[in-house]
Structure 1
Amino acid sequence: MNRKFKYIAILAMLPLFSVAIVSSFEAAEAAKAEGRAASNYGSDTRKIVCGDRLCSDYPGGRAAFEEALRSGVPVGGEAEDDDRMEDDRHMDDDHMKDGDHMDRDHMDDGMMMDDDRMMDGMMMDDDRMMDGMMMDDGMMMDMDDGMMMDDDRMMDKDHMKDGKHMDDDHMMDKDHMDRDHMDDGMMMDGDKKTGKAVHLSRANVPATIPLHHGYYEGEDVHFIITDSSDPTHAEIISESQGWNVELAPLLANAPESATSTTYMFTNGVEGGGVHGFQSEVFTSTPAQEDEYSALTSHIHVTWNSDRSSVLTSEQDIMDAEAAGEIFLTPLDVVLNMPHIVWPDGQMMVKEDSTLTDHTPYGGGQVLDIDMEEMTVTFVAHRGWGPDGRTIYYILTDLTPAAPAEAMGVVSAPTAANLMSSSAAVDLFQFSNGLYGTGPLGFQPGIAAGAPGDDNYSPMWRIHLVSWDESSHTAVLENLMDISAMRDSGDITTTLARPGDMDHIVNCPIIDPFQ
């Protein structure tokens, strides 16, 4: 039975105990008035028993005993405390012992009543009363079952927990909090943002993505494809790899300085390429840091005859074109194709692959690279889209180098060329406020675009959201929340520039459950 209900049941029974105690007291008083002992002994023994002893042992004998009864003097064998009387008799299962213990049918095991205090997994001091709630200095606070209250301490009277907390005269609106996102233990302490507030379920989950094979300078490269600026390529690749490629139209606006080049084959030797022929050929890998970009513009390679071979480098392609064996067609298509394994290198694999809701961002974003199954498993982080919808994203590369190293991802300096480009959109991360599962240890971030939106892109400019110290923090779930709090002066947003350098992150939003 719920403790609260047990406690209420005990309160309901107290009048019954009171009636029984009063009835016993009145019976004793009536016996005194009539000059007789309230005894359980039969009439045959009344003349030889004086209270709790034989009359022969009573000072003065039977006459003295009866005189003591008439005068109201205690007749026990020992002096009794004027304020208390102790009954040493054992009581059966339906009665209390010493006024302190109640049997199982009436009270939780171990529950005790002592003077003015009662404890049922909780305690009340002399000046406080609890009836499923506590009142202190005019404030009422709903109380969790099992909360302990000692004589000198109560729950901070500036707080209230009823799915929410009150701080001074403010109350966080529970309706604004997503039940799946908010931890019931959220607290706000004065003006300090110390609340364990935004506890997302499934905040970090594994996302297994197909690996593709390619070439660079005659050697093997393994990569993934997450986004396409072109709907046709998004559809073709999604179908061929059995994993959804998101449409990101804004990638078409990426400047040439922020992209690399990839050659795709439209005929020739059959293979695992995007179009069903030989594997793609890249012009750089993360080892060529100043040239590499996961965003690749594409050139179609088409053989002029049935005589074809596998080309494994850009030089091979140039030579075949010069020989008239192929012709090249540049396309206005940009794909997001992050490299996972390349000659003499690969993405960092997280040392501990066990995921929890509180797995830290640092130390790598990859959980496993399976070259036999041709898959890579990333950590997918949970956040919010512009309208509050749930999103999951992975991290593959970023600039500058220091945060890339801390996150365990590829350093991609060319991404800095997206700072002023519409190919990158804004992602808001929180630098203080409510503790949570975001990358900086506070609430999760909010993206300005998500798949299905015209302004979606996997390339993010990071903005830091900071709560003013005098503001009472709350969870923000969408762009409207950010705008409203910024207009009211409760938060400020600043463009993140670690080391005073441009900061762009490749964070494709993906569906980890497909």
Structure 2
Amino acid sequence: MKKLPALLIIGIFTIGIIFVSSTSDQLVDAGSRKKIHFTETITSSQDPGQGHENHQLALILSPNEGTIYDGSMTFTSSEPVQIVVLHEISSQESKGQPTWTVDGKTIYGLSLIDLQKNSGSFEFTGAAVALHSPNSKQFTTTVSVDGWIRGQPTEVIMQKIELEKEEPSSLLSKTNVPATIPMHKGIYEGNQVLYIITDSSDEDYAKIMSDKQEWKVEVAPLLANVPENTLQKLFIFKNGIKGDGIFGFQNEVISNTPSQESEYSALSSVIEVTWKVGQKEIEFTSADDVIVAEEGGRIEFNETGIILNAPQISWPDGQMIVRSDKEISDEMSYSGGQITEINEEEMTVTFVAHRGWGPDGRTIYYIVTDATPTGPAESMGVVSSPSSANLIANSGAVDLFQFKNGIIGSGPLGFQPGIAAAALGDKNYSPMWRIYLVEWNDTESAKILETKSDIDSFRADDMLSVSIARPTNSDHIVNCPFIDPFQ
């Protein structure tokens, strides 16, 4: 990111439709790419496209020659709408496909997603994005967009936004959103445990788990590097007594819970259990019983080497803290708990998902499930997991940069959101984060940073310092799975 004030971009469509982003937008110049975040309420007008005279259109991202937008959008609308994505094509390419044009000369390929819904989320890549109604009734929509502008628009006005000098702040939309995640039933010493699965070290297993729970389990290859002293065992049954387990048999057996604080870890080594032919099948209620049965030759173990991130939500004598304030807002603090609801009837748990940036400036969302040492864990209202400290110098953990001064914002310390050294889909992604603190040497010079290279650049210019976080002089690791809260 160039060291410049934030910019407001106003795209002007040639037929006179004007899209103006609000002052809460943030655009960061990145050469041929520009980052865009905004939330805007728009009232539709008559669709100017030929053959659409009786339709309504709300233009979200306007077309400019040579420009491509890609990102995601969430919307609510007063009327059911369709999603329109336009693609820049030549007149020779227009034959045999749906098109959209105002004057018959400039022609766009037309992708129409016929949602006919009043709300939704979708990802897009194209030369323009709009919401469309096939009738003439005007509608109003509120949209939140997060994405990139690629290429250099030909019809663009750049205006500086003067940031508030007394208390500059980062104005992002949807800085905290709800994330509802399916829970699984496990057993510890004959009692029920409820837990979630967010990550897998193995891509194939991630797909299997995603299909089973109908919620995406992310691939975290670095979890395969986690040392044995940071793991607990998760026994998953491939046959035997029918039940609610992952594969349709008895519930998973868990070796420890947060009540065994020194032994507990959300990171679980998967051991698949199969009954041998001719053995009388029973329901196991403890890890010790499973191990004894294997030693006695009644069952077989498949020690898969696969690691799942399986944080526990409730256990025989405890549960994660549920926030007293259920309403999730952009201004809510990290303290007081990370959960707004545990719904045992629906078998779901709703976390607060916090917004931040990936290494290249892409928006990421993460939840917080456990941490070490105890102080920060208690402050955030999550489980204490001392064994995670074994990752402080291990490649199973990745760097996450949080800001301790500078621009006021929604980060855990009250300043701008954090920046991660990896994002979902990266080979070096892990849900286990080694926290570094970023501090501006002169807060008057503070700017909003969005990428890892931003931090490196300002650090090289001696404008800020970066140090590893050591609360109470202890190693600090936080389990922050990155998730898609809108799935």
Q: TM class by shorter-chain length? A: 0.5 to 0.7
In the aligned structure 2, how far is the partner of 1:274 from the partner of 1:448?
Answer: 32
Report what 1:432 is aligned to: 405
In the aligned structure 2, how far is the partner of 1:447 from the partner of 1:249?
Answer: 16
More strand by share: 2
> Shift of the alpha carbon at 1:276?
2.6
The residue matched to 1:252 in structure 2 has which SS? helix
The residue matched to 2:37 in structure 1 has which SS? coil
**Aligned AA (1:211):** M
In the aligned structure 1, how far is the partner of 2:27 from the partner of 2:324?
Answer: 40
Report what 1:187 is aligned to: 164
In the aligned structure 1, how far is the partner of 2:292 from the partner of 2:435?
Answer: 43
**Aligned AA (2:37):** D
Alignment of 1:32-51 (within 5 A): none
Match of 2:226 among 244, 254, 260: 254
In the aligned structure 2, how far is the partner of 1:228 from the partner of 1:256?
Answer: 16
- Contact 1:199–1:437, Cα closer than 8 Å, also in 2: no
CA deviation map 1:184-206 (0-9, x unaligned): 673224xxxx31x2021011000
Larger Rg: 1
> Shift of the alpha carbon at 1:462?
0.4
The residue matched to 1:421 in structure 2 has which SS? coil
Report what 1:284 is aligned to: 256
Report what 2:282 is aligned to: 309
In the aligned structure 2, how far is the partner of 1:344 from the partner of 1:473?
Answer: 46
In the aligned structure 2, how far is the partner of 1:179 from the partner of 1:425?
Answer: 26
The 1:181–1:363 alpha-carbon spacing in structure 2 relative to 1, beyond 3 Å, is: farther
**Aligned AA (1:251):** L
The 1:279–1:178 alpha-carbon spacing in structure 2 relative to 1, beyond 3 Å, is: same
- Contact 1:462–1:496, Cα closer than 8 Å, also in 2: yes
Unaligned stretches of 5+ residues in structure 1: 1-161, 165-171
Report what 2:327 is aligned to: 354
The residue matched to 2:273 in structure 1 has which SS? strand
In the aligned structure 1, how far is the partner of 2:212 from the partner of 2:28?
Answer: 46
Alignment of 1:236-247 (within 5 A): 236-247=208-219
> Shift of the alpha carbon at 1:175?
4.2
CA deviation map 1:21-51 (0-9, x unaligned): xxxxxxxxxxxxxxxxxxxxxxxxxxxxxxx
Q: Does 1:453 align with 2:426?
A: yes
Match of 1:213 among 170, 175, 185: 185
**Aligned AA (1:265):** F
The TM-score normalised by the length of structure 2 is 0.67
RCO higher in structure (CA 8 A, sep ≥6):
2
> Shift of the alpha carbon at 1:265?
1.1
The residue matched to 2:346 in structure 1 has which SS? coil
The residue matched to 1:436 in structure 2 has which SS? coil
**Which aligned runs of 4 or more in structure 1 are off by greater than 6 angstroms?**
181-185
The 1:237–1:498 alpha-carbon spacing in structure 2 relative to 1, beyond 3 Å, is: same
In the aligned structure 2, how far is the partner of 1:391 from the partner of 1:496?
Answer: 21
> Shift of the alpha carbon at 1:471?
5.6
More helix by share: 1
The 1:470–1:447 alpha-carbon spacing in structure 2 relative to 1, beyond 3 Å, is: closer
> Shift of the alpha carbon at 1:225?
0.1
The 1:457–1:173 alpha-carbon spacing in structure 2 relative to 1, beyond 3 Å, is: closer
The TM-score normalised by the length of structure 1 is 0.64
Unaligned stretches of 5+ residues in structure 2: 1-21, 40-159
Alignment of 1:110-509 (within 5 A): 175=29, 178-180=35-37, 186-189=163-166, 194-195=167-168, 197-305=169-277, 307-469=280-442, 472-509=445-482
Aligned residues: 341
**Aligned AA (1:206):** P
**Aligned AA (2:261):** E
The 1:188–1:371 alpha-carbon spacing in structure 2 relative to 1, beyond 3 Å, is: same
The 1:493–1:181 alpha-carbon spacing in structure 2 relative to 1, beyond 3 Å, is: farther
The residue matched to 2:359 in structure 1 has which SS? coil
> Shift of the alpha carbon at 1:470?
6.6
In the aligned structure 1, how far is the partner of 2:254 from the partner of 2:212?
Answer: 20
In the aligned structure 2, how far is the partner of 1:495 from the partner of 1:181?
Answer: 33
The 1:173–1:403 alpha-carbon spacing in structure 2 relative to 1, beyond 3 Å, is: same
In the aligned structure 1, how far is the partner of 2:201 from the partner of 2:408?
Answer: 36
Report what 2:76 is aligned to: none
In the aligned structure 2, how far is the partner of 1:313 from the partner of 1:319?
Answer: 10
In the aligned structure 1, how far is the partner of 2:344 from the partner of 2:27?
Answer: 50
**Aligned AA (2:290):** I
Report what 1:129 is aligned to: none
- Contact 2:27–2:37, Cα closer than 8 Å, also in 1: no
CA deviation map 1:136-159 (0-9, x unaligned): xxxxxxxxxxxxxxxxxxxxxxxx
The residue matched to 1:463 in structure 2 has which SS? strand
The 1:266–1:378 alpha-carbon spacing in structure 2 relative to 1, beyond 3 Å, is: same
> Shift of the alpha carbon at 1:264?
1.1
In the aligned structure 1, how far is the partner of 2:395 from the partner of 2:326?
Answer: 36
In the aligned structure 1, how far is the partner of 2:485 from the partner of 2:467?
Answer: 30
In the aligned structure 2, how far is the partner of 1:187 from the partner of 1:179?
Answer: 20
- Contact 1:163–1:174, Cα closer than 8 Å, also in 2: no
**Aligned AA (2:196):** I
> Shift of the alpha carbon at 1:458?
0.2
In the aligned structure 2, how far is the partner of 1:474 from the partner of 1:211?
Answer: 40
- Give identity over the alignment, percent: 53
**Aligned AA (2:293):** A
In the aligned structure 2, how far is the partner of 1:336 from the partner of 1:423?
Answer: 12
In the aligned structure 2, how far is the partner of 1:213 from the partner of 1:470?
Answer: 49
- Contact 1:225–1:337, Cα closer than 8 Å, also in 2: yes
Report what 1:13 is aligned to: none
In the aligned structure 2, how far is the partner of 1:342 from the partner of 1:256?
Answer: 23
The residue matched to 1:240 in structure 2 has which SS? helix
In the aligned structure 2, how far is the partner of 1:298 from the partner of 1:175?
Answer: 45
- Contact 2:275–2:281, Cα closer than 8 Å, also in 1: yes
CA deviation map 1:273-314 (0-9, x unaligned): 223321111110000000000001121211002631211101
**Aligned AA (1:446):** I
In the aligned structure 2, how far is the partner of 1:274 from the partner of 1:213?
Answer: 9
The residue matched to 1:198 in structure 2 has which SS? coil
The alignment yields a C-alpha RMSD, in angstroms, of 2.1
The residue matched to 2:186 in structure 1 has which SS? strand
Report what 2:59 is aligned to: none
In the aligned structure 2, how far is the partner of 1:355 from the partner of 1:314?
Answer: 38
CA deviation map 1:388-443 (0-9, x unaligned): 10100000000000111010000000000000100000000000011011111110
